Amino acid sequence: MILIINTNQLDFQPKRQPLQSTIMQFSLKSLGMMSLFVLAVSGSKFANTCENIESFGTTLSADCREYEQGTMTQSRIDLNRCVKNNKGSLKCGKNGNYQGSCINCTLRGNTEMECMCRNVAEGHRFVRTQIDLNKCISNNHGQLGC
C-alpha cells in the first residue's frame, strides 16, 4: 500500500489565537495546577506537615500546618475513628474502634503504632501488629482527620 500526500493542501502556518483566548487558557491551566497542588498537600502524609506528634491512649496529638495562614494549629484525633483491627492486623478504617480488641499500643517514632491485637481467626489469641498512621491520618487545613 502506498500513501500519497499532496503537500500543497497542508497548512504549515501556525494558527493565531486572540490574546484574550490565550490568557484565558493560561489562567485555567494555572488554576487547575494550583488546585492539584492544594489537593496533593491536603491529602498528603500528616507527618510531613505536623510536628510534636504524641499519643495518649487512643488520642493522637500534633501541631499541624494550616495552609491558608501558614500557622501551626494544635490538633487531636481519636484513633478509634480511623484504625480497625482486622483479624489481628491493624488497618485503616473509618470508625474502626481498634481499642475494643487491641492492648498495649505504643507509638514508635512519629507514625508507627504497634499493638497486641486479638486474632479471631486463630482462637482469639493476641498477636503483635503495627501500622504506619500516615496511611490513615491526614492534615486537613491544620486539623487531623481520617
Domains of the chain (ranges, CATH numbers)? 50-145 (2.30.60.10)
**What's the distance, CA 85 to chain centroid?**
20
Largest CA-CA distance found in the chain, in angstroms, rounded: 81
Neighbours of 115 (CB within 10 A): 22
3-state secondary structure 114-146: EEEEEEHHHCCEEEEEEEEHHHCCEEECCEEEC
Burial class from Cβ neighbours inside 10 Å (0-12, 13-18, 19+) for residue 25 reads exposed
Smallest CA-to-CA distance from 46 within 145, 131, 113, 139 is with: 139
Residue 50 dihedral angles phi and psi, to the nearest 5°:
-125, 150
Along the 146 residues of the chain, how does pLDDT read in single tens digits?
A: 444 444 455 454 555 655 555 444 544 444 443 433 343 344 558 999 999 999 999 999 999 999 888 899 999 999 999 999 999 999 999 999 999 999 999 999 889 999 999 998 888 899 999 999 999 999 999 999 99
Q: Look up residue 3 and give its DSSP letter.
A: -
pTM over 0.75: no
For residue 104, the number of C-alpha atoms closer than 13 Å in the C-beta half-sphere is 9
